[in-house]
Structure 1
Amino acid sequence: MSVSTEIAQEIGSESSTGAATLNTGGIFAPLPTGTSSVPVTISYSSSVPSIQSASTSAAPALGTVQSSLENGGRTSIIPFNTTVIPTPSSSLAPANLTLNPSITSPTASRSGNIFVPIATDAPPSNILVKPEHPVPRLGIENATGPIETNKFYANFFLGDQTMSTFTHPYSVSWQKGTGAAGSWGLAISHIERSQLAYGQGDPAQNFINPLGIESLILSAKELSDSTTLTTDSLEGFSVNVNLHPADGVDTLIQFPLVQGMGFVTGIYAGGTPLLQTGVFFNTVNYAGALGYGKNTFKYRITLNDNTNWLLYVTPKGSAGTPAFTLNDSSHIQGPADFFGTVQIAKNANGFDGEAVYDASAGAYAISGSVSASMEDSTGTYTLAWDKGGVTQNKLLMFALPHHLESMDYATSAAVTDVQLETTTKGIAKAVAADSITMSEQLPLELGFAPYHPKFGSMKSVSNTAVSAIADAAGVELNQNMDEQTNLDSMYFSGKGLAKFAAAVYTTNDIAGQTGLAAAALKNLEAAFATFVNNEQSYPLVYDQSWKGVVSSATYETDDSGVDFGNTYYNDHHFHYGYFVYTAAVIAYLDPDWLRNGTNKDWVSMLVRDYANPVNTDPYFPFSRNFDWYHGHSWAKGLFESGDGKDEESSSEDAFSTYAIKMWGQVSGDPNMEARGNLQLAVQARSLQNYFLLESDNAAQPPKFVGNKVTGILFENKVDHTTYFGTNIEYIQGIHMIPLNPSSSITRTSTFVQQEWDTYFSDGRADSVDSGWKGILYANLALTNPEASFQFFSQPDFDPTWLDGGASRTWYLAFAAGLGGA
């Protein structure tokens, strides 16, 4: 049966010329004579090449499965440890003084919104300003302030601007004249779990969502090979993508892209709407007018892959149904000089789903924001959206699993039965609301000491443990700190500083060796001063183009991957979190150090760079790394990526938040401390849904859950590997480091035990002969602290079992504090 005949039968009015004519004035023209609908069969091989391969698996018009690990800005460093210096380089004489730690009382309550500025002044004057960045600002309009570098829409201003952007549950991409339809519009795709491609093994090493399926495309007849794409309003949760018929010509279609949006909306400013598909139209029928003024017009579309979609057209300032014409199985053309919105939604929920979409049609989200408050030990945060279009209608927004688990009563009542799969975050459910509110219990008592969610902070340990800690401290605090911290890498330097900070804290507060701690603290302060004075191998610079503090390494070497791509905004939370934690320990033990404004300003600069709480700071963007919609951070910066942003180390993500909490506490910023508490609680929930997979995990595919950790989680795929090697201790361990007081919040004892039993029990951990061995046994303290303490306290302990960012001093205290001694 031809498409035109089937449409005619459904609509029930066929003209003498063979065209199916809507009685409301809309016209669907017939296909050319002899043309029939083209069947589309979606078929994906279950045996995708290993993700380590550089090959791809392609199916024309059905999408591409990318099977290579995109490692933009990443350097292969095996082993992933800094050099361990186990032998003391000198004899450190205990200082003849006693440290006077600052009193740090956790903030119990904060009234009002805790998202307030940290500061708004310029970075310290010894940070050189660079007016340009190696990555140009491609097609970004009207942006005078800071620009988000690590958000979901970055592909629109990187590379050739055609890589996919993932709004969840949809993905969109600019076709730029390519693809099955050869379109110049914005393609819309949604992938079901049945379409996933899995890697080899049981559990599967990876799962990947096919890319490039052009289910529907919003375009215009006027768009052609002269079309350009620009962006504006690049904010924390949203961006406007604009298509221009030619460079310098006004926007013809604007797409407000917002995380979780229920519709993909095109706002037309003249021109002729063109709805295209690479999957082919099977049936299209008109379903009537909606809304108070009957000014939104609805169409049902079935594609040849048997998916059902809804089309809503809301003209601006005009009466009557706009005429849309079916030209062929791939094109529907709208009226010329059209002003208004065209909206697309996938309906996988039948007529009940249609009713939900109908109620919100015509309204669309423009931008988003987050606000939060505290009451006692409960933190409440709200994601709210500004809206346009038919503003009397409630927005339809999709909530992710971790949102649904913690929603308040009013928001839960607005959750509908409409649900769609996301690419890597499980099933999302649509909420008919202009905002959603969630609540979390906050870890207020979490401090520098070993911590357990049930028992709180534990600074008191047995005499046996104190003796072992003191012996370890006597060795480690005599090492040359400068040699292990003044490196050509912000990441490895930060790890070294944090190692010594944890050891100094432990020596003073837990082992009671105050003289040794005081002497070591002076060395630590001197090592830290190298960075405050900006005298390290590659000093920090302020990038005036994107607006952030980056390593000068790429400027000096022309290597985008040096120091893991720090200059390109990769991993700033990983790198800078170690420095912020170190500063918090120093300020806690030596309050006079904090009173030096230079020290405080430098640390606050780092926090503003990766975790700025406002969008009004003229020097740094809002929340560069942490994604308040997804509940975790994204590490990838200014690198084009077919599979979107990614995150490798969930543990360093959480540690960077813990560092913010502690810096806020010791520096006297209760709002920062509160944000750290809330962010850490949200992270714990998010990581346990998407990264750290207990056996009953419902978010990730059952074929993958047995890996226990995701490895690298992209927006479009998940791969049980690392950027620096495939040893199992690397893959699992990168989600452990650094073991710190917050680890027990994010890594449940049930998960740790399941992971240990899967990979490291029965002597398998002992076969690891590197710094990763210490990481594995420190992590074991979360479920079996006795075995962990026994490992670190053995008399023939080999210092090469310690990662360069970890100390035996702290590991002994960590295991003992959790009950190991």
Structure 2
Amino acid sequence: MNHHQHPFTFPPTTSTILPPTTTFFSSTPLPTNSSFQNFVLKSGDQPEYIHPYLIKSSHSSLSFSHASFLSNSALCYQIFTPDLTLSASNQNNPNLTHVVSSFDDLSLTLDIQPTLRFFLVKGSPYITSQILQPAKLSIKTIHAILELVPNSSKTRFRIALNNGQTWVLYTSTSINLTHDLSTITSDDYCGIIRIAVLPNSNSGSGSQFESVLDRFSTCYPVSGQAVFSQPFCVVYKWETKGWGDLLMLANPLHIRLLDNCSVSSVSVLDDFKYKSIDGDLVGVVGDSWVLKPDPVSITWHSVKGVKTESCLEIIEALVKDVNELDSSAIQTTSSYFFGKLVGRAARFALIAEEVGCLDVIPKVRKYLKETIEPWLDGTFAGNGFLYEKTWGGLVTKQGVTDSGADFGFGMYNDHHFHIGYFLYGIAVLAKIDPVWGRKYRSKAYALMADFMTLGKGSNSMYTRLRCFDLWKLHSWASGLTEFADGRNQESTSEAVNAYYSAALMGLAYGDTHLVATGSLLTSLEIHAAKTWWHVKEGDSIYNADFTSENRVVGVLWNNKRDSGLWFAPAEWRECRLGIQVLPLLPITEALFSDIEFTKQLVEWALPALGREGVGEGWKGFVYALEGVYEKDVAVEKIRGLSGYDDGNSLSNLLWWVFSRGDENEGTSAHCWFGHYCH
């Protein structure tokens, strides 16, 4: 950011609907979409999935579950069962609560004062607790304890349960443990305790897994950072204590991106696997990982261009669409639907550049100014952005008193979706009108910083990367609402749009750092969408019954996969496809670069279009993807549409389908008609 400009702040407000922050936290600004959010909402007693364990806190104890799965053709989820519950004798105060004493990109530290500290590090096969002062410990289970076998020094115990699980407990100094049917108790103890379940204990190969857990039991992680030090690269660095090498677990996307040639050498233990809803979690040894996603190119226009003979049809639609732009006719005050209209109009300017119809750009510029400025200036009637300092972020005027307004924006829901559309419009306007761009730069950056802040620390006004989960490598959308299954996200494509639009804004302002960060997050979000939302025939991440029936996940939760949407039932497949496509942009090509999958998805969705009452707007997205491999068929269908999604248009659909190029051709030329587009 330009150092000569003071950072702009949206007007301050106090929300009447947000939960208090003081109960569970000891530092600010606070995360509002984190994968441990349940620990700090309401009573803090809903479980969270800290891979590979579901973990639940209740007053003076912490329960761990190595979850069992339930899966059918409609959904898959993990069931929380308190397999083991750890507490300390001097903590039986019913008013006791846990405190998040610290948190970072890959971990959180949960304290149950005054005795227990838990280092909950995502992807650790061990649950690690520091007993801060001498206390008698209790480990309860809802199963029956079949055996408790110590080693000679009483620093390692094998716990066999009647549900088939075997857990191994390690201590930093010797400890005396006794047990009855369901409870293990200790003498006074002070030090480190680590507990791990044997992966796939029922598979009979437990001894080899046990020796792996033994080998790495002496090195424990206490925190973890994701570092962005070079382009298209994320480096995980864990701070460890103890001695020896660090054993962690990688999800399927980590494994795909892991750079084994990097300086920080890691070794992958291919056979050491924990089952999870996200696919197998595989053992990786090393306290620093380098993850290298595929670079995506952030472009204003289509990669292949539009062939000259197709330009006239696009121009005809474009002139009509632009002539119908009228900012005074906008009926909505919703930040989401308004943002979509801004993004829709901004597309017209870029399509005009691409097909050489520059005459329409002044009208688009006028419309973008009239729609964007009031939101940045605070003069928009009926809504606007405000800064709320309790959790540290933007809310809308409507969302200050109404948790349902603006799809829960005031509860920190969907921030990247709404703001992403505005950023797209701002980026385009700053590109076509640099003078305007300079004037509104500080306000544009204040909007973007809400979910794109990289810095951490109490002096920052915004939490670090509000929506983005640096362990799962995608965003969560669901803010500060307590859910038994943790955070969730429906529309991956709108998440992609958010980071892509931030990168475009970086291009417009010549901000290479913003371009680099936006591009990296765009690439990661695309990788994650392809890994967990796009369900290819024969994929093995989900169970066969779910995979055979679904080509996309509807809503993806931390602990569940649902085929239904927030706004539509599972059988409305055109909506399920569309919400993973919109808005249709040059970057959509990277999101649907897998032609085989795209064809599977379209063929899965097409039959749903025969249902009565299917919206024309949703049909448009199905036809757009059909155009990836059946251009001529798709063009005819697009020409026959009688309506479009509120963020889409005939111009945009024609631009998309005519810029697909043919697989066996070279690059098409951009067509330049000069000013003959009246």
Normalized against structure 2, the TM-score is what?
0.91
332 and 769 in structure 1: CA distance in 2 versus 1, 3 angstrom threshold: closer
Describe the SS at the equivalent of 2:103. coil
Q: Distance in 2 between matches of 1:118 and 1:678?
A: 22
Structure 1 residues 417, 162: closer, same or farther in 2, change over 3 A?
Answer: same
Structure-2 residue corresponding to 1:525 = 369
Alignment deviations for residues 445-492 of structure 1 (CA, whole Å, 9 cap, x no partner): x31212xxxxxx1334323x2211221122211224424657321111
Question: Which is worse superposed, 662-671 or 641-650?
Answer: 662-671
Answer yes or no: is 1:615 the counterpart of 2:460: no
Does structure 2 conserve the Cα–Cα contact (< 8 Å) formed by 1:188 and 1:217? Answer: yes
Q: Does 1:221 align with 2:89?
A: yes
1:151 matched to 2:34: yes
- Residues 486 and 530, structure 1, Cα contact 8 Å, conserved in 2: no
CA distance in 1, matches of 2:611, 2:445: 39
**Could you say which residue in structure 1 is the equivalent of 2:521?**
679
Residue 373 of structure 1 and its aligned partner are, at CA, apart by 4.4
Distance 1:122 1:385, change over 3 A: farther
SS in 1 for 2:79: coil
**Residues 1:185 and 2:41 are matched in the alignment:** no
1:340 to 191, 194, 205: 191
Amino acid at match of 1:414: S
Shift of 1:413: 4.6
- Which of 628, 647, 651 is matched with 1:782 structurally? 628
How far 1:494 moved relative to its partner?
0.8
Deviation for aligned residue 1:231:
1.5
Matched residue of 2:90: which SS? coil
* Structure 1 position 381, deviation (Å): 1.9
Say which SS state the counterpart of residue 151 (structure 2) adopts: strand
Q: Is the partner of 1:136 in helix, strand or coil? A: coil
Q: 2:216 aligns with which of 356, 360, 376?
A: 360
> Are the structure 2 counterparts of residues 361 and 206 from structure 1 closer, same or farther at C-alpha, using a change threshold of 3 Å?
same
The answer to whether residue 561 in structure 2 is matched with residue 697 in structure 1 is no
Find the aligned partners of 1:329 and 1:484 in 2 and give their Cα distance: 72
Query: Within 1, Cα distance between the matches of 2:24 and 2:5?
Result: 25
Identity between Structure 1 and Structure 2 (%): 24
461 and 118 in structure 1: CA distance in 2 versus 1, 3 angstrom threshold: farther
Q: Which of residues 421, 431, 453 in structure 2 aligns to 1:588?
A: 431
Does residue 735 of structure 1 match 2:580?
A: yes
- For residues 509-658 of structure 1, the aligned pairs below 5 Å read 509-536=353-380, 537-555=382-400, 558-596=401-439, 599-616=440-457, 618-658=460-500
Q: Does 1:140 align with 2:24?
A: yes
- State the alpha-carbon separation in 2 of the partners of residues 421 and 242 from structure 1: 27
Aligned twin of 2:288: 435
Q: Tell me if structure 1 keeps the 8 A contact 2:176–2:187.
A: yes
Aligned to 2:227: 371
Q: How far did 1:620 drift? A: 0.7
Question: Offset at 1:387?
Answer: 2.0
Residues 297-316 of structure 1: CA deviation (Å, up to 9, x unaligned): 1111111101111101114x
When you count helix as a share of all residues, which structure comes out higher? 2
1:417 is displaced (CA, Å) by 4.2
Give the AA of the match of 1:265.
T
Distance 1:654 1:741 in 2: 11
Contact 2:628 2:660 in 1 (8 A): yes
Q: Which residue of 1 aligns with 2:253?
A: 402
Post-superposition offset of 1:540: 1.3
What SS class does the counterpart of residue 342 from structure 2 fall into?
A: helix
Runs of 4+ off more than 4 Å: 117-123, 410-413, 483-486, 761-767
- Structure possessing the higher radius of gyration over alpha carbons: 1
Q: 1:472 aligns with which of 317, 322, 337?
A: 317
Structure 1 residues 135-192: Cα deviation after superposition (integer angstroms, max 9, x where no partner): 111523431x31111111111111221100111111100134xxxxxxx41000112x
Greater shift in the superposed pair: 515-524 or 411-420: 411-420
Alignment of 1:169 with 2:52, yes or no, is yes
Distance across 2 between alignment mates of 1:764 and 1:118: 54
User: Distance in 2 between the 1:652 and 1:159 partners?
Assistant: 29
CA contact (8 A) 1:207 1:717 kept: yes
Partner AA of 2:422 in structure 1: F
Contact 2:235 2:288 (C-alpha < 8 Å) held by counterparts: yes
**Structure 1 CA distance, aligned partners of 2:21 and 2:13?**
17
Q: CA deviation at 1:754?
A: 0.3
Are residues 1:662 and 2:504 paired? yes
Task: Evaluate the alpha carbon distance shift between residue 789 and residue 258 of structure 1 in structure 2; reply closer, same or farther with a 3 A threshold.
Answer: same
Gap runs ≥5 in structure 2:
200-204, 663-667, 669-678
Is 1:273 aligned with 2:137? yes
Aligned with residue 237 of structure 2, among 384, 388, 394: 384
Change (3 A) 1:486 1:334: farther
- After TM superposition, give the deviation of residue 689 of structure 1 in Å: 1.4
Task: Give the 3-state SS of the residue equivalent to 1:447 in structure 2.
Answer: coil
What is the SS of the residue equivalent to 2:155? Answer: strand
Tell me: CA distance 1:415–1:122, structure 2 relative to 1, closer, same or farther (3 Å): farther
SS at match of 2:350: helix
Report what 1:448 is aligned to. Answer: 300
SS at structure 1 position matched to 2:661? helix
**Contact 2:144–2:182 (CA<8 Å) still a contact in 1?**
yes
Structure-2 residue corresponding to 1:305: 163
Task: Measure the CA separation in 1 of the matches of 2:468 and 2:585.
Answer: 20
Deviation at 1:424, TM superposition (A): 2.5
Is residue 46–residue 483 contact of structure 2 (8 Å, CA) maintained in 1?
yes
- Provide the alpha-carbon RMSD of the alignment: 2.4
Q: Do the aligned partners of residues 123 and 656 (structure 1) sit closer, same or farther apart at CA in structure 2, a change above 3 Å counting?
A: same
- In structure 1, the partner of 2:671 is none
Q: Could you tell me whether the CA contact under 8 Å between 2:5 and 2:442 is conserved in 1?
A: no
Tell me the equivalent position of 1:238.
107
Structure 1 unmatched ranges of 5 or more:
1-116, 177-183, 245-250, 290-295, 316-320, 451-456
Equivalence for 2:146: 282
2:446 and 2:552 mapped to 1: Cα distance?
A: 33
Asked if the contact 1:188/1:216 (under 8 Å) is kept, the reply is yes
Secondary structure of the 1:724 match is coil
Aligned-pair distance for 1:684? 2.3
Q: Encode CA deviations 1:205-260: one digit per residue, 9 max, x unaligned.
A: 1112112x11111211222224222222133322221113xxxxxx2101121211
TM-aligned CA distance change 1:239 to 1:479, over 3 Å: same
Counterparts of 2:596 and 2:228, CA distance in 1: 30
- Aligned counterparts of 1:416 and 1:126: Cα–Cα separation in 2: 50
- Tell me which amino acid in the other structure corresponds to 2:150: Y
1:576-595 C-alpha deviation (Å, 9 max, x unpaired):
11111111111122222222
Matches within 5 A, 1:738-753: 738-747=583-592, 748-753=594-599
Whether the 8 Å CA contact 1:133–1:546 is kept in 2: the answer is no
Corresponding residue SS for 2:501: helix
User: Is the contact between residue 634 and residue 645 of structure 1 (CA under 8 Å) also seen in structure 2?
Assistant: yes
**1:50-199 matches, cutoff 5 A:** 124-130=8-14, 134-143=18-27, 145-176=28-59, 184-191=60-67, 195-199=68-72
- 1:102 aligns to what? none
